[in-house]
Chain A
């Protein structure tokens, strides 16, 4: 060895493996405007489709007259439900076990519902055509309020379900009822409430909102009549699932369907499900023999493709006088709109809402969820959260604050008192989950120490006194949130989508020169997989991350996977990547042993190659092993160095975190200022700290938006009134607070690299932190719960109702 020989640290650093703040490789093209999105796909002879949409929330469709539209130059076809019936596609299955109209079949059930699809030679002609389609409607009374959906005289929305007393998830109680889902021990819970010293009860609503990715939903469908093959470029978070669903509903052989998800400009759950636009573009291409593009505009995205939340959660906690929780009872009224188009694993009609016991050791709990139909857009999807986990976290975190207020305890102290203790993991929750690992007390105390929580409480007490003396018109709130997520769907024993188990996959192929390509069943929409996946491989097999090409989204080349949502990529595909890499490493070890002329057991792994134990100079690098794998393998061994792994996780992972929001509110205008926001996340092993930080910043910004104003709102007549970014709160850099991030590391014991997933944590934990801050600010004036969103006028209204404003 001489001075030029790299040290072990230098060799490890050169890999840019796990733990490295590696710069995002995809940003080289994104920051130069060189990404390739669906709308960049332009094929010769491509046609454009666009929708005629309903102005009514509920109406009978008497007649559709397309004769004038067909006279518009460039308009080639107008597709209606009658057209689709000829190929049995007027309705499509939803991921939640319901069916959904592709185009209005006799009725419309929400404003902006798809009524007809106009196909033209360009988008201008398509829109000209839309304006010439004459639809005759007979308006019906709209049902907007979910609390009135099961009134005896409520209008019948879903005539197609007449006489059906059971749905995909059991009996239906009413013509607008979808399902009832119950979990937990009702009797034990009732008994706990009877014995309780203290109980609280509050109806906590999580309003309807929307994932609103910057790139809307879109596709290009191209049917080759000669080959009988359909190619679909689309904004798909789960391309393989789309391929299978298309095969099943369009009765096309799966090998003749090619689904390609190119670069995607954000998904946040909006791009998991199947939408009428995909079906109509595919049918239009089959009918015309030409490629057909469909691109949603912003209004369509906000008002027609899947919304999120709309959960109304009546929450009760039983506790002892000294603040030990003894029981939790939650009833949820879930507004699904016109069709239950939830994108949850099929057996879970309310997703994983039964994580609602949160981070606390509840001895017993009971949960019931009733899903209902209303005249609103169908959904709801998991907007940057695992299925209904953000609703659950909001529910329990708000309720714990309400309990603290009733007990006269500090909210942080109440949480510390009730946390699941480190020695209780793996922990079996009262509602059926097995939490893998956690150290909640350490995380909470770190948050309290770093933010100087005690001093903030003291300042708040002083400000409250000053407010009461009339010296200030500003009130101060501290929003504590301690969330536990459940992500990484999921184990085949309890998770599937339409019968497909929710595994994920990775295929790694190394080239002779010591580089390689890796493909996964996931699909990045901005998460940075091209960067982080290569880092896992780099650490596992000692090939620099820069030498690994990562490819996702093409169903012809990628191994089958269930896609990217619910923070599942790292827990599931991340594990598959490590397992595939380890298969390669095992073969590499055999090759190394042959080349170094020792037994395999005499070798040890050393950063980027194998070394003979006790003989440090006898070393073979992975780069050299790659060459040998193609040219001089041991006798009897197949050449080549590649592996594939399909990973069925043994359990979910349970990331957690401690957040604090410090907010000041001017009671005269309701204007708030987020003075400080601290977010400690524990996502287990950290692959790329810079990407984690970016994920946390993004998720917190969305949480801020949701809590403080982002809402899909309907008026009493069923008109959706938040159809643009003028009224649907999309914060800019100016409105967005400064974020302080921090972490602890509690690896997942069952995951090959101990990682848990982080992309959605900040949304899950952020929303309760903001809402608790607002509620905490007002609590000394006598309020217990103020519903979200907390925009300016609602803050002023709260102040007024509490007598703080004349």
Chain B
């Protein structure tokens, strides 16, 4: 549990960070909250020769609203998210989910950018960002580009990030007023990754589901959007047949690994239950 030696860099601008990462190549890793990278280094599963700490860059932190879009800086911590009235008001599902991430100590350090950029299938924010239709701003030696969260995740720890690129901010379109939302996460204890989790954002009209998006956490090597499951409830009043159909549709796209949280069959089964419960709770909140 003792990391190898490394060089520490603390650039003051995004441009400097990109230059460092490009020049140093694969031996360099950007450092945000460090809650994934540092444990990997202590286990010597990662031995970067250079750490490029992003904490010295002004402007990478903060939350602001621009029309119907929320812009969240990559170095914004989970604690900052929880403290934001704007998030609580406009995208309350992010507030609900952040409360389920680890514990207060971790949330003081852990950043939204690190959470979504690392590509860890256990992280909660990626599925939420996909559910909300968020896009990520990636800046690199070739300039800046926007990538939809839905197109970002390629495999466990594999993302659309190119060498030298860093994720600098997230744009989240605010869901319509009166939407219903819920993030249902089954975990063994505080600080655990989800055994399975489901995010639901929906709107209701005349007692029926008008629109619905469902995201899934930690039931596949990447976060998932369960489109067929959402389709199964649109136009319904979430009767038990519709809920059953949605859970079954969600389960068909899950392929979790067996681990200490349970065998594959269990994790898929409770994944379906999380979908059912998230749909019910989201509907109860919709106006």
Q: Which stretch (A120-128, A365-373, A453-461) binds chain B?
A: A120-128
Q: Which of B1-23 contact A (CB under 8 A)?
A: 1-5
How far apart sit A158 and B188, CA to CA, in the bound complex (Å)? 38
Residues of B within 8 A of A713 (CB): 260
B5 and A124 contacting across the interface, CB-CB below 8 Å: yes
How far apart sit A470 and B122, CA to CA, in the bound complex (Å)? 34
A669 and B190 contacting across the interface, CB-CB below 8 Å: no
CB nearest to B193 among chain A residues: A726
Over the window 269-297 of chain A, the binary record of Cβ atoms lying under 8 Å from chain B Cβ atoms (1 yes, 0 no) is 00000000000000000000000000001
A298 proximal to B (CB < 8 A): yes
A792 and B2 contacting across the interface, CB-CB below 8 Å: no
A668 proximal to B (CB < 8 A): yes
B189 and A735 contacting across the interface, CB-CB below 8 Å: yes
B158 proximal to A (CB < 8 A): no
A669 and B260 contacting across the interface, CB-CB below 8 Å: no
Residues of A within 8 A of B260 (CB): 713, 721-722, 727
Over the window 245-285 of chain B, the binary record of Cβ atoms lying under 8 Å from chain A Cβ atoms (1 yes, 0 no) is 00000000000000111110010011001000000000000
A793 and B263 contacting across the interface, CB-CB below 8 Å: yes
The main secondary structure of chain B at its interface with chain A is loop
A131 and B2 contacting across the interface, CB-CB below 8 Å: no
A792 and B192 contacting across the interface, CB-CB below 8 Å: no
Over the window 688-722 of chain A, the binary record of Cβ atoms lying under 8 Å from chain B Cβ atoms (1 yes, 0 no) is 00000000000000000000010001000000011
A123 and B2 contacting across the interface, CB-CB below 8 Å: yes
How far apart sit A126 and B5, CA to CA, in the bound complex (Å)? 12
Residues of B within 8 A of A669 (CB): 186, 270, 273
CB nearest to B262 among chain A residues: A793
- Interface residue count for A (Cβ, 8 Å)? 32
A729 and B269 contacting across the interface, CB-CB below 8 Å: no
Residues of B within 8 A of A128 (CB): 4-5
How far apart sit A713 and B258, CA to CA, in the bound complex (Å)? 14
B44 proximal to A (CB < 8 A): yes
Q: Which of A126-142 contact B (CB under 8 A)?
A: 126-128, 131
B191 proximal to A (CB < 8 A): yes
How far apart sit A792 and B269, CA to CA, in the bound complex (Å)? 12
Nearest Cβ on chain B to A244's Cβ, whole angstroms: 33
Nearest Cβ on chain B to A337's Cβ, whole angstroms: 20
How far apart sit A163 and B195, CA to CA, in the bound complex (Å)? 50
A735 and B190 contacting across the interface, CB-CB below 8 Å: yes
Quick one: given A713-B260, A727-B260, are A732 and B1 in contact (CB under 8 Å)? no
A654 proximal to B (CB < 8 A): no
Residues of B within 8 A of A668 (CB): 270, 273
A792 and B262 contacting across the interface, CB-CB below 8 Å: yes
Q: Which of A781-802 contact B (CB under 8 A)?
A: 791-793, 796-797
- Interface residue count for B (Cβ, 8 Å)? 23
Residues of B within 8 A of A721 (CB): 260
A793 and B261 contacting across the interface, CB-CB below 8 Å: yes
CB nearest to A728 among chain B residues: B260
CB nearest to A671 among chain B residues: B186
B189 and A131 contacting across the interface, CB-CB below 8 Å: no
Quick one: given A131-B44, A721-B260, A793-B263, are A124 and B191 in contact (CB under 8 Å)? no
A732 and B188 contacting across the interface, CB-CB below 8 Å: no
How far apart sit A618 and B3, CA to CA, in the bound complex (Å)? 72
Residues of B within 8 A of A299 (CB): 1
Over the window 730-753 of chain A, the binary record of Cβ atoms lying under 8 Å from chain B Cβ atoms (1 yes, 0 no) is 111011000000000000000000
Nearest Cβ on chain A to B279's Cβ, whole angstroms: 15
B5 and A732 contacting across the interface, CB-CB below 8 Å: no
How far apart sit A726 and B3, CA to CA, in the bound complex (Å)? 20
B269 and A796 contacting across the interface, CB-CB below 8 Å: yes
B189 and A731 contacting across the interface, CB-CB below 8 Å: yes
Residue of B3, B191, B266 contacting most chain A CB atoms (<10 Å) = B266
How far apart sit A123 and B2, CA to CA, in the bound complex (Å)? 7
CB nearest to A50 among chain B residues: B2
Q: Which of B175-195 contact A (CB under 8 A)?
A: 186, 188-192, 195
How far apart sit A668 and B3, CA to CA, in the bound complex (Å)? 42
A734 and B1 contacting across the interface, CB-CB below 8 Å: no
CB nearest to A126 among chain B residues: B2
Quick one: given A124-B5, A299-B1, A713-B260, are A734 and B190 in contact (CB under 8 Å)? yes
Residues of B within 8 A of A297 (CB): 1-2
Residues of B within 8 A of A734 (CB): 189-190
Quick one: given A669-B270, A713-B260, A797-B266, are A792 and B188 in contact (CB under 8 Å)? yes
Nearest Cβ on chain B to A87's Cβ, whole angstroms: 28
B191 and A732 contacting across the interface, CB-CB below 8 Å: yes
A124 and B189 contacting across the interface, CB-CB below 8 Å: no
Residues of B within 8 A of A727 (CB): 259-260
CB nearest to A806 among chain B residues: B269
How far apart sit A792 and B1, CA to CA, in the bound complex (Å)? 30
Partner of B1 from A298, A670, A722, A805 at Cβ < 8 Å = A298
Residues of A within 8 A of B273 (CB): 668-669
How far apart sit A123 and B1, CA to CA, in the bound complex (Å)? 10
CB nearest to B267 among chain A residues: A793
How far apart sit A179 and B180, CA to CA, in the bound complex (Å)? 64
B188 and A729 contacting across the interface, CB-CB below 8 Å: yes
Residues of A within 8 A of B189 (CB): 729-732, 734-735
How far apart sit A177 and B186, CA to CA, in the bound complex (Å)? 43
How far apart sit A169 and B4, CA to CA, in the bound complex (Å)? 47
Nearest Cβ on chain A to B264's Cβ, whole angstroms: 11
Shortest 6 CB-CB contacts between residues of A and residues of B:
A793-B262, A297-B1, A127-B2, A727-B260, A793-B266, A734-B190
List 12 A-B pairs, Cβ < 8 Å: A131-B4, A668-B270, A669-B273, A709-B188, A721-B260, A726-B192, A727-B259, A729-B189, A732-B103, A734-B189, A792-B195, A805-B269
Known contacts A124-B4, A669-B186, A670-B266; can you find 12 more A-B pairs with CB under 8 A?
A128-B5, A671-B186, A721-B260, A727-B259, A727-B260, A729-B189, A731-B189, A732-B103, A792-B186, A796-B262, A796-B269, A805-B269
